[in-house]
Each structure stands twice: as C-alpha cells, then as structure tokens.
Structure 1
Amino acid sequence: MKAKVLKNMLFGISVSITIGLFISLAFSYIYGLENYAPSAPRFTEMFKKPLNALLASIILWALMGILFSQSSMIFEKEKWSITRRTLTHFFVTFFGFTPLAVLCGWFPLKWEMFIFFTIIFLVVYMTMWLVSMISARNDIKKINNKLKKR
C-alpha cells in the first residue's frame, strides 16, 4: 500500500509541476512579458529573486499534485457510496486547494473573489465529475455488452 501511495504521489507531483510550468509559460506569452513569470505579479513581487519565485511556485504546484493525487484515492473506498466519495473528495480538494491558490496569488483574500473562485471551482469540478460519470457509464455498457455476447 505504501508503494502505491508513493507512486501516486510522485506521479501527481510530476504532472502538476509540468502543468504549472506550461500554464505559467503560456500566460507569460499571453501577457507579452519580456521575462518568464511563474505566477501572478502579486506573488512574484514577494520575492527578491525571480528564481525564488519559481522555486516557491514549483513547491506549491507539487503540493497541489500531492493533494489531487492522494485525494483521488478516496474513490477507491469501495464500501462508501459514490455520493459519499464525491462529497468527501470535493471538500478535501476544495479546502486543500483554496489555501494553495491564495498562496500562489491567484486571487486576493476578498469575499467577492473567494465567491468567484468557489463558483469557478464548482463549475470545473462538476464538469470533470460529469465527464467521469459518463465515461464510467460507457465502460459499464461495454463490459455488459461483452458479457451478453458470451
């Protein structure tokens, strides 16, 4: 079990750092910056050296990867209902991701921005959940069709 958790964690870290680098690079180009910015200006301005901002960003992206990779294991709890797994996963990811997003400088600590962030998180979460449910339903149909043919 420990090996699975570690493997899952390392996968999450590598994926999240890669995604973070690509997104920050894309935003650096989109905003026409002369120099690469690993995060929002209010975040990078907290550091004297750009390399320190990049290191802090990588650490935060890694923590996000750990959060999402480990929280995905909630869905492996076979004794729990899908509703319980989904709600637990939602709250773990929301309350784990929100402070990381604040630390990254993605939104300031203001109620209206927190509400906006929450709405975006809900929309993204529900979209991903819906796609996952449709995919699972299609997989079950395929399995059932194969069983019927036997």
Structure 2
Amino acid sequence: MKKQFWMRILLGMPLGVMIGVFISLGISAAAGTGDFLYTGPWLVTQTGSEVGAAAVQTLWLMVIGAVFGGASLIWKKENWSLGLRTAVFFVLGAGTQVLAGVCCGWIRLTMQDVVLDILTFSGIFSVIWALEYIWMRHRLAGINSCLKN
C-alpha cells in the first residue's frame, strides 16, 4: 500500500501541472489578448518576476496533484463508508485548493472569496462524484447480470 501511495503521489504531480496548464490555456484563450496568462499579476509582483511566479505556481500545482493522487487511495478503503470516504477526500481536496489559491493569488484571503472558491470546488466535485457513482452502478449492474447468467 505504501508503494502504491507514493506512486500515486509521484504520478499526480505532473498531472496537476498538466491540468493547471490546460486551465491557463483556457483562461488565456478566453481573455482573447493572444498572451499566455500562466500566472496572475499578484504573484508576479510578490515574486518579483514572471519566472518566479511560474515556479511558485508550478510547485503549488504539483502539490495539488500530489494530494489528489495520494488521496485517491481513500476510495480503496472498503471498511469506510462512502460518505466518510467522500468527506475526507473533499476536505483534503478543498483545503489544498484554497491554500494554493491564496498562495498563488487565484483568490484573495477574504471570507467571500474563500466561500466562493469552496462553492465552486463543491460544484465541480459534485458533478464528478455523481458521474463516477453512475458509472460504478452501471458497471456493478453489468457484473451482477453476468453472475446471474
């Protein structure tokens, strides 16, 4: 289990960066300026350069990927209820997202921005969770039908 945990963390790190780059590409395309907006101006100001800001943001994207990668093993804890697994995974993910968001300047450290970030995370999390749940029920129905025959 330890080997699998570390493997998922290591695989999650580049995946987190990749997702962050795709999000930045989407934001850049939506802005319509023709510039690649990898980091925000606040982080550039805080670090003193675009390279410094890109390095900080990339490290935080690696942390997010690592947390989600490692936390994905929670779903294999069959002795935990689905509700407990969901809650633990959600808290780890949302907590990491808010921390990274504040440190990278994606969100301001105000109650309104933190709540809005958590609500956005909750909405995305809920959609993904529901799709995964439906997919698993479909797979289980297929397995059960095979077992009956």
Amino acid at match of 2:52: N
Q: Verify the 8 A CA contact 1:11 1:69 in the aligned structure 2.
A: yes
Q: Verify the 8 A CA contact 1:67 1:97 in the aligned structure 2.
A: no
Partner of 1:94: 94
Separation (CA, whole Å) in 2 of partners of 1:127 and 1:85: 16
**1:31-87 deviation line (CA, Å, top 9, x unaligned):** 244643322222222222211111111101000001111111111111111111111
Separation (CA, whole Å) in 1 of partners of 2:48 and 2:92: 33
Query: Unpaired segments of 5 or more residues in structure 1?
Result: none
Partner of 1:53: 53
Q: 1:104-119 counterparts in 2 under 5 A?
A: 104-119=104-119
Partner of 1:73: 73
Amino acid at match of 1:50: E
Separation (CA, whole Å) in 1 of partners of 2:57 and 2:96: 16
SS of the residue corresponding to residue 67 of structure 1 reads helix
Amino acid at match of 2:91: F
Query: Unpaired segments of 5 or more residues in structure 2?
Result: none
Q: CA RMSD in A?
A: 1.6
Separation (CA, whole Å) in 2 of partners of 1:19 and 1:33: 21
Aligned length: 149
Separation (CA, whole Å) in 2 of partners of 1:34 and 1:139: 44
| Superposed displacement of residue 22, structure 1 | 2.1
Separation (CA, whole Å) in 2 of partners of 1:115 and 1:18: 26
TM-score w.r.t. the length of structure 2 is 0.90
Partner of 1:25: 25
Amino acid at match of 2:101: A
SS of the residue corresponding to residue 67 of structure 2 reads helix
Identity, % of aligned pairs? Answer: 26
Separation (CA, whole Å) in 2 of partners of 1:75 and 1:125: 14
